[in-house]
Amino acid sequence: MRRFVAVMIVLSLLVPAVALAQQAAPKAEQKVEDPVEKKAEAKPEQKAEQKSEAKPEHKTAKAEHKAEKKQDPANKGRVPVVVDFEGEDALGQRLAFELREAFRASSGFRPAGAGDKGLRLRLRAVPEFKDRPNLGSIYAVSWLFSEGGNVLSYFLDSGLGVVDEGSLKREAQNLAARTDEISGRFAYLLAE
């Protein structure tokens, strides 16, 4: 009886696979036009058009972006950095904005795209007091190194802090200074 059940399970798995293979077989039998034969049949005027159309674009957008970065002397020696903010806290959003502005004004950092190699700061903020959200915010920040694209980022450091309306710029400058220290400590990762 067990053998019968095992055979039935195997057959139930094989029948759909065979049906799919049979459906795919007619598609594979369709004749595919050979581009070599098509070129041989083409007239001289058509051959010239086909050659001009057949030139592939070798440079991708990513390659062009890398070429632009290498050509820009203003970016040489500047560490690419991205500030990602998470949360709905108004003071935390303003802290992230001040931090981005501090990096733009800095001669050691430059804003980077999400797919670029560089430092990534993850900033999350919540109100210090739920009843009075604009009084102060508690934030957490993590420094990560990103190779770019869909590559997993490496954790470098983290920190916590409290910020209020009067200390936004000062706290952004402190975070930028700490980012400079971290980029110096992990400079071997950022070398191109």
Other C-beta atoms closer than 10 Å to the C-beta of 121 total 23
Identify the residue with better confidence: 105 or 20. Answer: 105
Q: pLDDT digit string (tens) for 30-78?
A: 444 555 554 455 555 555 555 445 444 444 545 545 544 454 556 667 8
Residue 160's pLDDT band (cuts 50, 70, 90): very high
Q: Determine which of 18-27, 62-71, 79-88, 163-172 has the lowest per-residue pLDDT on average.
A: 18-27
DSSP 136: -
Question: Is 0.75 topped by the overall pTM?
Answer: no
Q: pLDDT digit string (tens) for 91-136?
A: 999 999 999 999 999 888 998 877 788 999 999 999 988 887 778 9
Residue 24's pLDDT band (cuts 50, 70, 90): very low
Order of all β-strands in the sheet with 79-86: 109-111, 79-86, 118-127, 137-146, 154-163
